[in-house]
Chains A and B, each alone.
Chain A
Amino acid sequence: MALYSHPRNTRVLVVSLVMVSLLTITIDYRGGNSGPFEVAGKGALSVVGAMQSGVSHILRPIGAFFSGLAHVGSLQSENRALKQQVQQLKQQQGRTVSLERRNAELASLLKVEQSLRLEGVGASVIGYSVGNFEWSVTINRGSTSKVRTNDAVVSGDGLVGHVILVAPTTSVVQLIIDPNSAVAGRLSSSGETGLIRGQRDQDLTMDLVSADAKIFPNEQVVTSGYQGGLYPPEILIGQVSHTYQQPGGLTKEIAVRPAVDFSSLEFVFVVTGR
């Protein structure tokens, strides 16, 4: 370090480091996702992914304990709400069974192909994004398990996101709450389609819905899954939580509460073929 102890040398050092940073930003910005730094990104992911996998095995219970502590106050009210929900669901169950039977009959009648039969691999979440401005998770499956970029990722509750970076044994999944994520969605009852964008820790927004569309509170929103789209059709995204309409506006904007709880995501399913 003696080389840089002189103030003038320090300034030269800092200016050159700043120049290198700016050069990196420029090259990466122009190259997009497949720029020359992609390989380095995959390398970094492999190294850190292996460490994350070890750490999350050991530390997950500790993290769960602390996040449980933080939520103790809300657990009681949650318990009460859940008991009410159980009652409601019991009532609904009777209706659902008959609906299901009718649905099965109609499906066989129309010879509708089962579009939800998905092929893929299960994976566990081993880490989250290192930054505060990006919403992604690292999973323990990569190209050796046939995971590819742009594969859709779902969980038992609904749509999670899509794969953006693949290393041999780990990959990164961009969550649908990331502001860069956009999913084509459809309202389950009216069939209206719209683009669903991530809003960080807020509810998702769905726009491009025509202003005269009828929207029910708590209506389910699913992926629209047009031919060749990123996501398979009919996967639950969330529920309508709020509707906004500018007076005289041509479109409505809807807030959608995601079905997946992204703060406690543990197991996901990567759709590798449909």
Chain B
Amino acid sequence: MRRVWSWTVVVLTALVLQSTIFAQITLGGAKPELVYLVTIILAFLEGPSSGALAGFFGGMAQDFLLNQPKGITALTLTLVGYAVGTMRQYITTPSPLLPVALVGGATTSGVLFYGIVNSLLGTSVGLFYLIRIAILSGVYNAVLTPFLFPVIRRVAEASRANRVFRL
């Protein structure tokens, strides 16, 4: 239960920061996609099923704050969380840059997927705008990863330790 609460706080904080402070500090007009970042790092640390679950609920939370068909971010992030968690099991490099690269690449792919699904549902997205935003938000997320990775890892470890303690 504590696990659910701590991740709820993390996702809400991400959404609030993204719509206030980061909406003003943009990278070439792009905001970072913090819920993507949280999902990807969590999937990286905890595996595909936690990644998919975090992606689904985080995405739903973001969807309900948008005036666009609800459920698209949830769909995108469920798949992103699952894909990153699965990929992680096959990557053995000890490089500390792995999370940065993974966050950047997965954010860009996720935003592209989101934009394509959204335009299939009739929202005008703009192809060039979509590509530019996908790349820029991926870069922005990658830049933020070194700062936010330790925070998210601490939350993950704290909630994991709680579970072990109960057993």
Q: Known A37-B70, A48-B15; judge A64-B24 contact (CB<8 A).
A: yes
Partner-binding segment picked from A54-62, A211-219, A221-229, A243-251:
A54-62
User: A130–B70 contact, CB under 8 A?
Assistant: no
Number of residues from B at the complex interface, CB < 8 A? 57
Contact with A along B21-35 (1 / 0, CB 8 A): 101110001110100
User: B12–A164 contact, CB under 8 A?
Assistant: no
User: B62–A131 contact, CB under 8 A?
Assistant: yes
Would you call A144 an interface residue if the criterion is a C-beta within 8 Å of the partner chain's C-beta atoms?
no
B58 CB, nearest partner CB in chain A, Å:
11
Q: Known A25-B72, A45-B65, A130-B62; judge A17-B20 contact (CB<8 A).
A: no
With the chains together, A17 CA to B75 CA distance in Å?
Answer: 8
User: B16–A25 contact, CB under 8 A?
Assistant: no
* Contact pick for B123, options A43, A45, A133, CB 8 Å: A133
User: B133–A132 contact, CB under 8 A?
Assistant: yes
Would you call B68 an interface residue if the criterion is a C-beta within 8 Å of the partner chain's C-beta atoms?
yes
B8 CB, nearest partner CB in chain A, Å:
10
B47-73 with Cβ < 8 A to chain A: 47-50, 52-53, 56, 59-73
Would you call A13 an interface residue if the criterion is a C-beta within 8 Å of the partner chain's C-beta atoms?
yes
B145-167 with Cβ < 8 A to chain A: 163
| CB-nearest residue of chain A to B29 | A201
User: B75–A18 contact, CB under 8 A?
Assistant: yes
User: A138–B67 contact, CB under 8 A?
Assistant: no
With the chains together, A52 CA to B65 CA distance in Å?
Answer: 12
Q: Known A13-B53, A56-B20; judge A132-B111 contact (CB<8 A).
A: yes
* Contact pick for A14, options B30, B48, B111, CB 8 Å: B48
A215 CB, nearest partner CB in chain B, Å:
25
Chain A interface (Cβ < 8 Å from any Cβ of B): 1, 4-5, 9-10, 13-14, 17-18, 20-25, 28-29, 33, 37, 40-41, 43-45, 47-48, 51-52, 55-56, 59, 62-64, 66-67, 70, 126-134, 136, 138, 164-165, 172, 174, 179-180, 200-201, 263
16 extra A-B contacts, CB within 8 A, seeds A14-B78, A129-B66: A1-B163, A10-B82, A13-B49, A13-B52, A17-B53, A20-B56, A24-B70, A25-B121, A63-B25, A128-B23, A130-B15, A130-B18, A131-B62, A132-B31, A133-B123, A174-B67
